[in-house]
Amino acid sequence: MANDKKVALVTGSNRGIGLETARQLGKLGITVVVAARLLDDATVSAEKLRTEELDVYPIGLDVNSP
């Protein structure tokens, strides 16, 4: 049986447009990987979104660093 669950990676999701994008995708039933330069920042965002019963996971990701 195929898993049709969608997953989205949202960069800069620790504040502003990125955080709201993660929230809206989560409300659509999409699993969201919230990314921020620092894992601690992403973790805080993920915890905040989980209080809204959204399926989110934090990751530290600096898109400017190879």
Single-letter residue type at 50: R
Domain membership flag for residue 65: no
| pTM summary value | 0.87
Checking if the pLDDT of 65 tops 80, the result is: no
Domain membership flag for residue 66: no
User: Tell me, what's the pLDDT at 2?
Assistant: 64
Q: The domain containing residue 42 runs over which residues? A: 7-60
**3-state class of 37 per DSSP?**
coil
Cα–Cα distances (Å) from 63 to 2, 26, 36, 49, 66, in that order, read: 31, 22, 9, 22, 7
Domain membership flag for residue 25: yes
Domain membership flag for residue 30: yes
**3-state class of 17 per DSSP?**
helix
Per-residue pLDDT band for 62 (boundaries 50, 70, 90) equals confident
Per-residue pLDDT tens over the stretch 12-57: 888 999 999 999 999 999 999 999 999 999 999 999 999 999 999 9
